[in-house]
Amino acid sequence: MFEQIIFYIFAGLLILSASMVITMRNPVMAALFLVLSFFSSAAIWLLLEAEFLAIALVLVYVGAVMVLFLFVIMMLDVNLAPLREGFARHLPFGLAVAVLMMIAMGLVVNSGYFRSEGMTAPVSFGPGYSNTTELGEVLYTDYLYPFEIAGAILLVAIIAAISLTTRKPRSTKTQQPGLQVQVRKEDRLRIIKMDAEKQ
Domain identity same for 5 and 74: yes
Domain count, the chain: 2
HSE-up of 35 (CA within 13 Å, CB side)?
Answer: 16
**Are the beta carbons of 52 and 132 closer than 8 angstroms?**
yes
Residue pLDDT, tens place only, 124-158: 777 777 788 888 888 888 999 999 999 999 999 99
Please indicate whether residue 75 or residue 170 has the higher confidence score (pLDDT): 75
Q: Is the pLDDT of residue 122 over 80?
A: no
Query: Residue 113: is its pLDDT beyond 80?
Result: no
What's the pLDDT score for residue 119?
Answer: 66
pTM: 0.58
Question: Does 149 map to a domain?
Answer: yes
Residue 196 lies in a domain: no
**Nearest of 4, 34, 41, 8 to residue 20 by alpha carbon:** 34
Residue 51 has pLDDT above 70, yes or no: yes
Range of the domain at 138: 130-162
